[in-house]
Amino acid sequence: MKHMMVVVSMEEEWSTLKSLVQESYIDEGQQPSFSSTGSVEVCDLIVASRSVSFHCAVLKKDMTEEGISQALDSCFKSCSQGVSTFLLLIQNGRYKKRESRIMEFMQACYGPEVLKFLIVLSLETEAVDMLDDSLLGLINVSDGRYCRLTTTTLGTSDMLLPLLEMFDFMLAENGMIGYTEHMHRLREAKSRYTADTSMKIMTWMYLQEAEEKDREREMQGLKAKHAEDGKMEADVKRQYETKRESLEEAATSHGAMLQMQLNVTNNDNSKKTSIILVGTSGSGKTSAINLISERVGNQYSSNEDFPECPSSTLTCERKVVLAEGRRLVLVDTPELWDVDGAENMEQVKDCLALSLPGPHIFLLTIRFRRFTQGESEMVSRLQKIFGRGFTEHAIVLFTHRNDIGPHKVLMTRSINDYVAGAQGLQDLLRKCGSRYYVLNLFRNALSYPQVKDLLSGVHKLVASHGGGPYVTKRFPVEQLKERKRVIEERLM
């Protein structure tokens, strides 16, 4: 099956992507194929034994609104097998006014449904420390589907693997189908029906001034037309429902097959997700791990007494649980620096060793209370410890213990007010891509959906990096493996 991807791009970004694709296949046995159909440029290639076809509507800076609409329509029609996804191409995380204008036209042409099938792809030839608010807004409405091709992967044969990972994640969320021609025709039919109805109302108002006999004859004609339009829409809807039921059966069957493939063993590192929890002492790292373990183990406590606060963590500890067919490795850490800000090298090595084959994600835990100066400096300290790429793999986790009452929970408005009142906290969140979740450590039923949302965010972030772990260059992998072996033997 060929994956048809409509690439929406300015000339410069499309030229960059074509050059990178050509460079990545210099030493490969099968070269990509480039062709054009009218104003549409096509690139066919094989990625990880899968057939991918890019159909690009190359847009120019001076194009009119009509020109943009025609280019998008031609590109859509060139995908005879249906569109698997829409791919918005940007460079170095910059979402400019011209790209924003293009997105407005896409929604005008294909409806708001286009956002369910949109992936934002950023070609990054330089370091990107922070995303602007407009791009974060687009990523939010497209359910976090933002993929990056960084300098470490550009020009290599596997540089498009993160894009395929995000593509598979999108299909799973949308029932294993893309944006089809049938959806497009249904939208056009509804638009025509709306326009026809408006015209009927105007005609009816004009006929009020005519004679009663003429008005009655015209009204009969309008009723007949309305019945015909209603029958046509019912037929289209019936065809859509028949196809949807067929697709649901296929998706169910495919989902069962995927679930069988997701059965893992202890030695299958490709099915592990490693998470290191970092933060200040007392921020709730250990309690968060305990609550996550209960959630994925389907343990729902009915005891609404306040849980005892665990004692301070003195050494790095590792817990492995099975969550939705994947092994989740949770590494608890003490504070990784002393009162003078100097890092504890031994603890750093221990947490990295215990997270192998990761880490994939860092959870930066912050207690929901007054934001301190020490917490505002955490990102800089952690970047010195784990490298500048730490923030690209980090999620902020706000924890609290229902200090406002045993039967109340932290609401979104409260966390928004909390963030708005602390400039240092706003800067910290921006450095971490504005990714944050809230976890109520009080063990009642209301805390479990928060764990589910957190794990969903973790899986999305891992998919955006192609499923691979974050690699620190400070310590050789063999050294960390030996350290892990020593720790495990000591605990036996």
Q: Which tens digits make up the pLDDT trace of 377-404?
A: 889 999 999 999 999 999 999 988 764 4
**Host H or E run for residue 226:** helix 212-261
Quickly state the pLDDT bin for 88 (edges 50, 70, 90).
very high
Q: What percent of the chain has pLDDT over 90?
A: 23
Q: Taking Cα atoms as reference points, which of 364, 359, 438, 420 lies closest to residue 396?
A: 364
Which has the closest alpha carbon to 355: 324, 384, 386, 311?
386
Beta bridge partners of 323: 326
Q: Which two tokens stand for residue 67?
A: 């020109």
Would you say 349 and 475 are in contact if contact means Cβ atoms under 8 Å apart?
Answer: yes
pLDDT-derived band at 268, boundaries 50, 70, 90 = low
As a whole number, mean pLDDT of residues 23-49 equals 82
* Domain covering 2-179 in this structure, CATH number: 3.40.50.300
Looking at domain 269-491, what is its CATH homologous superfamily? P-loop containing nucleotide triphosphate hydrolases (3.40.50.300)
User: Tell me, what DSSP letter sits at residue 157?
Assistant: T
Token pair 């020009």: residue: 155
- The pTM for the full model equals 0.55
Most confident of 32-46, 98-112, 133-147, 349-363: 349-363
Q: Tokens at residue 134, please? A: 């407009």
Write the burial class of residue 428 (CB in 10 Å: 0-12 exposed, 13-18 middle, 19+ buried). buried
Higher pLDDT, 276 or 312: 276
Mean pLDDT of 308-317: 79
pLDDT of 176 reads 67
Residues 109-124 as b/e (b if ≥16 CB within 10 A, e otherwise) read ebbeebbbbbbbbbbb
pLDDT at position 89 is 92
* Cβ atoms of 56 and 14 closer than 8 Å: yes
Q: Where are the domains of the chain?
A: 2-179, 182-261, 269-491
In whole numbers, what is the pLDDT of the chain averaged over residues? 80
Residue 76 pLDDT > 60, yes or no? Answer: yes
Give pLDDT tens digits for 197-253. Answer: 445 545 545 555 667 777 788 888 888 888 888 888 888 888 887 777 667 655 554
Residue type, 414: S
Write b or e for each residue in 238-247: b if 16 or more Cβ atoms lie within 10 A of its Cβ, otherwise e. Answer: eeeeeeeeee
Query: Same CATH topology for 2-179 and 269-491?
Result: yes
User: pLDDT value at position 445?
Assistant: 61
Q: What is the dihedral of CA 113, 115, 117, 123, to 10 degrees?
A: 160
Residue range 447-470: average pLDDT?
89
| pLDDT over 70, % of the chain | 80
Residue 163 or residue 311, greater confidence:
163
